Structure 1
Amino acid sequence: MQQHVINKYNRPVPRYTSYPPANFFGEYAEADYLAMVDQSNTARHNQISFYLHIPFCRHLCHYCGCNSYPQAKPEVISAYVDALHREIDLVASHIDRSRQIAQIHYGGGSPTALPIPMIRELNQHLLSLASVIDRPEIAIECHPGYLDETDWLQLADCGFTRYSLGVQDLRPEVLKVVNRRPSQLPVSQIVSLLHSKGATVNLDFIYGLPLQSASSFRSTIEQAALMRPDRLVTFSYAHLPQIFPRQQVLDKVGLPADDEKGRMYQEASQVLIASGYQPIGLDHFVLPGDELAVALGQGQLHRNFQGYCTRRTTAQVYAFGVTGISQLDDAYAQNGRDISTYIDTISQGRLYVQRGYQLSAQQKLVREVIEALMCNYALRWSDVAARLGVCADVLREACGYDEAVLSEMQADGLLSFDDDHISVDTGGRPFVRCVAAALDPMMLNTDKKFSKPI
C-alpha cells in the first residue's frame, strides 16, 4: 500500500470492542443495570460470561492504558477480593441458575499479582453459581515477570483452560525502557509447562514501542513462533498521553515512525502466516485447529472487551471489580474506578455502577454490522439482515450507508464492494477500523478521542 494512502487512513478511530464505544457511556444507575441483568435471563443468547478486573500491578509499565494501580498493601488486596466475592453474590442473585457458564476471564492490571489461593477461591465461587457448558473457556492474563515454576504449577491447578502471557517483547532493552520486567522463566519453558497441563497458551506482544524496528520485531516474532503457542497476538501500541499521562515518558525516549510501525505489523504477519498460523481479526494469529479459526470459518467469531472469542463461549458478560464493563444484549454498565469507594460501596450491599449505555434499536443493528465486519473482514448485508429479521435496506439506512465513501476506499485499495457485499482487501486489513467507522453514524462530528490503527 502506498505511503500516502497509509497516511490518509491512519487516523483516530474506535477499536470497536463494543458498540457504541465506551467513551460514549454516560451516567447509569444501579437499578437500571440490575433490571438489565434480570432481562438478560431471557436473552436469545443467554449463556453466562464472567469478567473480573484485578487492577493491581507490582509496578506500572509506561505504555499501559489499562486501569492499573501499584501493588497495594496486603490488607487492601484482601479487602478488594472480599468485595469481589460480595459483588458476585449481589449480581448472581439476579441470574437464573438454570443458565450455563461459558466463559470466565481475569483481566487487569495483572491478575497474577493476587496470591494464587485467592485466585483459586474466586474461580471456585464463580463455578459454584451454575453448571458449565462443555469445554468452557476459563482464562487469565499473566505477567510472567513475577511467576516462578512453583507459581505456574499452582496456577495450573486453579482450573484455567487458557493463559495469556504478557510478553510484549523478547528484547531486554525494550522492556527496560518501558519499565516492564522480563519473564522470570524462559518463555518457551512456560509454554511447555502449560501445554503439558492441557491448557491453551496465548503469547501477547506489543509493536510500536521505543527501540523497536521492523527487523527487531520480526526477529522477536520468529522466536515466538518457534515456541508454538496456540495463539500469538500482536497489539498495536495506542499512544494517548493526553488520556494516560504515564505514557508521556515514552515521548522523551522516542517512538517509531508510523511507516516503521506499519512495517512491524506486516513483517510479523508474514512470519506467522509462513509459520502456519491463521490471521484472526485485527491482531490474533492462531494455529489452524484453534477454536477461533473454526469459528471464523463457521461465521461464529465474536468480539467483546476481552478480545476475540466465539459465540459458543460467550454471550451475556457480567463484570466485577473497578472499571469492569458488563456487556448485555440491550445495555452496557461500567463500575467506577476508585478502589476504596468500590470496597466501601460493596460492603454496604450496593453495586458501584457509575456509567453505562442503553442501546437503541438502530444501534443494535449497527452493532451487528460492525461486529461482522471487524470479525470477518467481510460483510454480506443480506445475511446480517436475515439474522436480525429486517430487510437489507433498513440495515444500510441504520448504518448511514454512503456509497461515495466506500467508492473512495475502494479506489484507495482498502476494499471491494457491491450492493450486497463489502470485503476488506488484504492490504487494507490494518484499516478495517476505518471501514467500520464509515458505517457508524456516531462517528459523524464526534469529539471523542480514539487511537490510530497504526
Structure 2
Amino acid sequence: MKQELLNKYSIPVPRYTSYPPANFFNESFTAGKFRQIVIESNKENPQHISVYIHIPFCYHMCFYCGCNSQLLRDNAVVLKYIDALKKEIKMVLPLLDRNRKISQIHYGGGTPTSQPVSVLKELNELVLSEFDCIENPEIAIECHPGYADEAYWNELVNAGFNRISLGVQDFDEEVLKASNRKAPGMAMEDVVRILRNRNVSLNMDFIYGLPLQTPESFAKTINRAIALRPDRIVTFSYAHVPWVNELQKNLEKVGLPSVEVKSQLYATAKKLLTDAGYKTIGLDHFVLPDDELFAAQQSKALHRNFQGYCTRRTTGQVYAFGITGISQLATAYSQNTKDLNTYIRQINEGVFPIAKGYILNEEEQITREVISQLMCNYTVNWPELSNTLDIPMAKIKSAVNYNETALQAFAADGIIEYNEDYISILPDAAPFVRNVAASFDKLIDTKENRYSKSI
C-alpha cells in the first residue's frame, strides 16, 4: 500500500463490531426495557440463541488489553461472581421461547481459563439443559496458554468445548515481555497435539502492532503458526486506546511501530498465510479452505456478531451474561454494568444489571445491515439487499446517506469499485474497509467520540 494512502486513511474510525458502536449506548435503556426487548426477541430473526459469558479475572494484566478485566486476587469475590452469573442466567433464560435452539456459546474475558474447568462445565450444563441445540453448535472459549497443563486442556474438551482459541499473540518472548504477557506454559506444538487428538477445532490468535515487532520477527511467528496448521489464524490489529486502559501507556515507553511498519506486519502475515493455503476472511481472519466461514464468504453470506465471524447457520441473537456483557438483539443492544460489586448486588436483588443500551430505529437497522455486509463480505449488492430486506433500493441508499462524492474519492484511490448496483472493496484495499463503512454512517459525526485508528 502506498504510504500516502496509509497516512490519509489511518484515522480514528469505529471498528464496527456493532452498529451503532457501543459508545452510542445510553443510560435511558433500563432493566425494564431490557426485559421487554428480550421477550420481543422471541419473534425476531435470527431465531437461534447465542450465549456470551464474561469471565473478567486475569492472573496478571497484559499491557495491550482493551477488555474489561481485573486481577484475580480474592477467591471469595470470584465465587460470589460465579454464583451471580448462574443467577443471571436463570433470570434470563425463562424469558426465551423453549422452541428456539442454541447455536453458540462463547466465553471471553479477562481470562476464562483462570477458572477451574469444573466451574466452566457447570455453566455450560446450566445453559444447555434448558434448550436443544442446532446440529454441531459452536461451544468456544478464549484461552491463555500461559497457565494450562495437559490435564486442563483435556478437561476443557470433557466440559463440552469444541472450539478453543489459543491466545498466543506472538511467539517472540521479547515482544511478550514488553507487553507483560506470560509465554505459553507448554510448547504450543504439544498443546496442538493434545487438542487435535480430541478432535477440537483450533483458533490461534495473534496481535500485530506491538512494541519490538518487526516484519522479520512477525514472519517467524506466523511461519511457526502455519507449521502447527490450526483451523483458523487471527491477526488482530492492536488498538491503542490508553483512555480506555491506562496500562497501554506502558507500551509507549518501549515504542509502538509506525503506521508503515504496522502495515508491513499485516502484509507479511497475509502473504505467508495465503501462500500456505489459508483463505482471507473479513478484516483479520485466515481459515483453511474447508472451513465453513470460507464457504459463507464465497456465497457472500458471511456474518458477524459479538462472538466474531460466523455463518448464518451458527449466528444467533446474542444474550450476554456477566459484567460488561453486551446482548445483541434484533432491534436493540443492552450492556451490563462494568462494576463487579454492583453486578453481584443487583443480581442478588433480582434486578437485571443493565447499565445502558440502545434501541435501533429503522434507518439504523438498515445501516447496520449495509455496514455488516461491507465488513464481512467486502461488497454490497444494492438490488439484492433490497430484495432481502423488502425495502426499495432508494430508501436503503437514503438511510445510509449514500454519497457519490465520497465513493468517487475512494475509487480514485484504488480502494473500491462501484456503480449504481453495487460497491466492492478491491482485494488489496481490505485494511481500508472501516473507512468505507464510516462513509455510510450518519451517526459518526453526531457526537464526540474517540476511536482507534483504522490502520
TM-score, normalisation: structure 2: 0.99
Q: CA deviation at 1:445?
A: 4.8
Helix, strand or coil: the match of 1:400?
coil
- Name the structure 1 match of 2:6: 6
- Name the structure 1 match of 2:92: 91
In the alignment, does 2:454 pair up with 1:441?
A: no
Going from structure 1 to structure 2, the CA distance change for 1:19 and 1:390 (only over 3 Å counts) comes to same
- Name the structure 2 match of 1:363: 364
- Name the structure 2 match of 1:20: 20
- The letter for the 2-side match of 1:433 is R
Q: Is the 8 Å Cα contact of residues 301 and 377 (structure 2) preserved in structure 1?
A: no
- Name the structure 2 match of 1:278: 279
- The letter for the 2-side match of 1:190 is V
- The letter for the 2-side match of 1:303 is R
Number of aligned residue pairs: give it: 454
In the alignment, does 2:306 pair up with 1:305?
A: yes
TM-score, normalisation: structure 1: 0.99
Higher mean alpha-carbon deviation, 380-389 vs 326-335, is at 380-389
Helix, strand or coil: the match of 1:333?
strand
- Name the structure 2 match of 1:145: 146
Alignment of 1:91-130 (within 5 A): 91-130=92-131
Q: Distance in 1 between matches of 2:181 and 2:246?
A: 17
TM-superposition CA deviations, 1:10-67 (whole Å, max 9, x none): 1111111100000110012011011111001111321111000000000000010000
Q: Distance in 2 between matches of 1:103 and 1:81?
A: 20
- The letter for the 2-side match of 1:430 is P
Higher mean alpha-carbon deviation, 421-430 vs 227-236, is at 421-430
Q: CA deviation at 1:427?
A: 2.0
Q: CA deviation at 1:276?
A: 0.5
In the alignment, does 2:59 pair up with 1:38?
A: no
- Name the structure 2 match of 1:192: 193
Q: CA deviation at 1:304?
A: 1.3
- Name the structure 2 match of 1:352: 353
TM-superposition CA deviations, 1:369-427 (whole Å, max 9, x none): 00011101111111111100011111111000001101001111111111111110122
- Name the structure 2 match of 1:213: 214
Q: CA deviation at 1:298?
A: 2.6
Helix, strand or coil: the match of 1:167?
strand
Q: Distance in 1 between matches of 2:100 and 2:378?
A: 32
Query: For structure 1, which runs of at least 5 residues remain unmatched after alignment?
Result: none
CA RMSD of superposed structures (Å): 0.9
TM-superposition CA deviations, 1:73-126 (whole Å, max 9, x none): 221111111101000010012111111111000000000001111001000101
Q: Distance in 2 between matches of 1:302 and 1:91?
A: 25
Helix, strand or coil: the match of 2:341?
helix
- The letter for the 1-side match of 2:12 is P
- The letter for the 2-side match of 1:17 is T
- The letter for the 1-side match of 2:18 is S
Helix, strand or coil: the match of 2:146?
helix
Q: CA deviation at 1:299?
A: 2.7
- Name the structure 2 match of 1:49: 50
- Name the structure 1 match of 2:230: 229
Alignment of 1:403-442 (within 5 A): 403-442=404-443
Q: CA deviation at 1:72?
A: 3.1
- The letter for the 2-side match of 1:4 is E
Alignment of 1:252-267 (within 5 A): 252-267=253-268
Query: For structure 2, which runs of at least 5 residues remain unmatched after alignment?
Result: none
* Percentage identity across paired residues of the two chains: 49
- Name the structure 2 match of 1:240: 241
- The letter for the 2-side match of 1:221 is I
